[in-house]
Structure 1
Amino acid sequence: MKTPTRSGKVKMSDIAAALGVSAMTVSRAFKGESGISAKTRTSILLKAEELGYVFDATASNLRQSRTGFVAVTVPSIENANFSATVRELSKGLLKKNIQILLTNTEYDPNEEERLIAQLLQRNPEAIVLTGGQHTPRTRALLAKASIPVVEIWDLPAKPIGHVVGFSNESAVKGLVDHLVKTGRRRLAFLGGEATNDSRGAQRRAGFVAALREHGLETNRLIPAGPAPVGMSEGASGLERLINLFGDTDGLICVSDLVAFGALQQCRRLGVEVPDDIAIAGFGNYEIGRVCEPPLTTIDVHAGLIGSRCADMVLTLLEGPSPPGAALWQALQPDLILRRSTP
C-alpha cells in the first residue's frame, strides 16, 4: 500500500487495504460493534494510529440520522453544583458515546430562549434544561421539537416533558424546622428575591411558608441582588440585616457562598456564630465544609441529578415514551448539620 502523504486524508479503505480486510470491518471496529475479534479490532486501531487516521463520528452519525449530542443549558458555568451535575451527566451519556453541547443562560430566560432556538437548528437528540421556568416561546419551540426534553434541578408545576429534580421549598422547610426546634424564633432569609433566579425564589418562598406554619414573623427578608450572588453579597447582606433587625437569632442564606460571606462579616463585626446568630446555607459546597465554623447546609446531590438525568435520557433515546407517559424522578435533599447552627 502507498502510504498517504501528509496532505492526503487517510481513509478507512487505506486501513482496510493495509490489513487485507474489508472497509466494512474497519468501520465496525471503530463503532465497537460485535462480531469482530479483539485481535482484529486491535490491529485495526493500531494501524489507524500508525497512519494518522481519525474516525469521523459526525459523518457516521449523520448517515444514521443521529447527531450524537445532547444539548444542555445551565444558568452559570461558574457554579460548582451545576458543574457537578454536568460532569456526571456527561459521564453517563458517554456510556453510549453521546457528547453534550453546553450553553450558559446567565439566569436569563430570554437568553435561554435564544439559545434553544439555535440549538434546535443543530438537531440535538435531546435537550436538558436547568430549572422549570421558561418563556412561552421556549415552551412552544420545545413542544414542536419531537425530541426528549428533561428539566432538572426543579419540580416544575407544568413540566415540558420529563423531570429529575427536587423541591427547593421542602428543603428549606427542613432548615427552618431545625432552627425552630433549637429555640430560634427571629429568623431571616438572605437572597432569593430576584426574578431571574427561580430556585432562589422558591427557597425564599419555602422559608416564608415554613415560618407561617410555626406562627412566626416573616418580614426579615434581606435582598442580595440579581443572580448569581456570592460571598460579597453575603457580607453586605449580613450588615444590612444587623442594621435592620439586630435581634435576629437565625439566618438562612440562598447558597453556601452567600452564607460564607455572611459568616465572615460576623467575624469582622464581632458577632458570634452560632451563639448570637445561627447561619445556614444551601448546596453543600466545599467552602461550607472547610470554613470555621463549618456551615449547616442542604445537600441537593448535584452529581446524582446529573447521573439520573443521563440514565433517563438514554432510556428515552432507546424508544419514545407512550403519549402522556412522562418520566419523573423527585430526589430528596439531605439536611447536613454542622457547627454554624446549634
Structure 2
Amino acid sequence: MKASAITPPDGPMRMSDVARIAGVSLVTVSRAVNQPDKVAPATLAAVRAAIDTLGYVPNQLAGGLASNRSRTIAAMVPTLSNLVFSETIEAMSLALNARGYQVLLAQTNYCAADEVRIVDTFLGRRVDGMALMGITNEDVADKLRRAGLPVVQTWDFSSAAIDMQVGFSNADAGHKAGVYLAGQGHRVVGFIGADERRSRLRLKGFRRAFSAVGGQVVVSLAPPPAGVDTAAAQLADLRRQAPAMTAVFCNNDLLAAALLFECQRLRLKVPQQMAVMGFGDLPVAGACWPRLTTVSVPRRRMGEVAAELLLRRLAGDPSASTVDLGFTVVPRESA
C-alpha cells in the first residue's frame, strides 16, 4: 500500500475513510465495529489497523440507531471500596469486551434512592443489558422487569429474580461457616459485618447452625461498608455482650484481618482464646498470620458466567437461567 493511501484526510475521520484504508466495504466496517464476532479475523484485523491509523472514533449513537444496540452493558455495585466485587467486574468486563461490548459502572452506596437514579440513567442511555451486584429496591426490580432488557443478578440468589442469576446462597454459606465453628467446639460466638442484605443473609444461616447445637450468637452490624475501620469497635461491642465468646465470624476477609490485629493489640491468642473466621478468600486471607479460615466464593467465575448469560440472551436465547457456583469453607490456622 502506498504511503499516500494511508495519509489521514483533513477534517473528521469517516467510516468511508476506514473502508478505503482497509480495502473493504462500508458494511464490513460497520459489522467490524458493531458485530466483531461475525467478521473474519484477518478482515477484522485490517479494519482495526485502519481505525488505529486514522484515529477514527465510531459513532456509537448512529450505530445503535441502526442496529437497535448500544453495545454497552451497565453494572451496578454497592461499593468500590470492597475488593470482593472488583474481580467479578473485571472478569465480566474482559468477557464482554472480547465480544465488542463496553461496561458502564456505577456505585449505589447501598442506597435505594441511588439505585433508582442510576437505573433511570442507564435505561435512558439505552444500555443493552444490566449486571447487578445485589439490589435493595423492589421498585427498581419491577422497573427492570418492565424494561424487558437482559438482567443478571450476581453475589446472591433471590426467590423473586428479575431475570437471570449467578452466584451462591449467602444464607447457606453463613450456615456452613456456623457448622464449621460449632464443629470446633465453639458455643458462644460473634458475628460482625455491615447492616445490608448479604450480611444479614449470612447471619441468618450462621444463627441457624448454632441454634441446632444450643449455642449463642451475638451480633454487631455497622453501617455499610463495614471494614478495617470498624473492626476494633465491633469486637469490643461483641465482648461487652458476651464476655465468654470464643469465636467471631466476619462478613469479609478485610474485617477479619483487622480483627486479627485487634486481637494482637489486646493480647488475645488466636485461635486459642479467640478464633477468627472471614469470608471471601481474598489474597490477604492467605498472607496474614495466623492465616485466615474463610469461606471461598468464585468471584471471577461469577463475572465470566454473568457475561455468558447476557451474551446468550442478546444472541436470542429467551430462557432465564440460575447458575449456582457454590462456595467452599477453607480451614486455616485462625480457626
- Output the TM-score relative to the length of structure 2: 0.90
Q: 1:95 to 1:298 in 2, by over 3 A?
A: same
Q: Is the Cα–Cα contact under 8 Å of residues 231 and 257 in structure 1 kept in the other structure?
A: yes
Letter in 2 for 1:199: R
Aligned twin of 1:328: 322
1:88 corresponds to which of 58, 83, 91 = 91
Aligned twin of 1:211: 210
1:53-72 equivalences in 2 (<5 Å): 53-72=56-75
* 1:48-91 deviation digits (Å, cap 9, x = unpaired): 44444344444323311110011111001121110011001111
2:249 corresponds to which of 252, 262, 287 = 252
Matched, 1:170 2:172: yes
Letter in 1 for 2:312: T
Q: Is the Cα–Cα contact under 8 Å of residues 25 and 36 in structure 1 kept in the other structure?
A: no
Q: Is the Cα–Cα contact under 8 Å of residues 237 and 262 in structure 1 kept in the other structure?
A: no
**CA distance in 1: counterparts of 2:160 and 2:41, whole angstroms:** 50
Aligned twin of 2:312: 315
Aligned twin of 2:276: 279
* 1:278-297 deviation digits (Å, cap 9, x = unpaired): 11011112222211111111
1:222 corresponds to which of 220, 223, 230 = 220
- Output the TM-score relative to the length of structure 1: 0.88
Q: Is the Cα–Cα contact under 8 Å of residues 234 and 257 in structure 1 kept in the other structure?
A: no
Shift of 1:335: 0.5
Q: Which moved more, 1:74-83 or 1:46-55?
A: 46-55
**CA distance in 2: counterparts of 1:179 and 1:191, whole angstroms:** 17
1:139-154 equivalences in 2 (<5 Å): 139-154=141-156
**CA distance in 2: counterparts of 1:231 and 1:41, whole angstroms:** 47
Structure 2 gaps, min length 5? none
**CA distance in 2: counterparts of 1:46 and 1:288, whole angstroms:** 44
* 1:79-113 deviation digits (Å, cap 9, x = unpaired): 11100110011111123111111110001122111
Q: 1:216 to 1:90 in 2, by over 3 A?
A: same
* 1:25-65 deviation digits (Å, cap 9, x = unpaired): 55455554767683x66555545444443444443233111
**CA distance in 2: counterparts of 1:73 and 1:35, whole angstroms:** 31
Aligned twin of 2:181: 179
Aligned twin of 1:121: 124
Q: 1:51 to 1:187 in 2, by over 3 A?
A: closer
Q: 1:96 to 1:292 in 2, by over 3 A?
A: same
Q: Is the Cα–Cα contact under 8 Å of residues 235 and 258 in structure 1 kept in the other structure?
A: no
* 1:248-270 deviation digits (Å, cap 9, x = unpaired): 11111111111112111110111
Q: Is the Cα–Cα contact under 8 Å of residues 89 and 309 in structure 1 kept in the other structure?
A: yes
Q: Which moved more, 1:49-58 or 1:66-75?
A: 49-58
Letter in 1 for 2:206: F
Q: 1:43 to 1:270 in 2, by over 3 A?
A: closer
Letter in 2 for 1:176: G
Matched, 1:198 2:197: yes
Shift of 1:174: 1.4
Aligned with 1:144: secondary structure?
Answer: helix
Matched, 1:12 2:6: no
Letter in 2 for 1:97: G
**CA distance in 1: counterparts of 2:171 and 2:44, whole angstroms:** 53
Structure 1 gaps, min length 5? none
**CA distance in 2: counterparts of 1:34 and 1:255, whole angstroms:** 42
2:260 corresponds to which of 241, 259, 263 = 263
**CA distance in 2: counterparts of 1:62 and 1:270, whole angstroms:** 65
Q: Is the Cα–Cα contact under 8 Å of residues 58 and 68 in structure 1 kept in the other structure?
A: no
**CA distance in 2: counterparts of 1:20 and 1:268, whole angstroms:** 69
Q: 1:42 to 1:180 in 2, by over 3 A?
A: closer
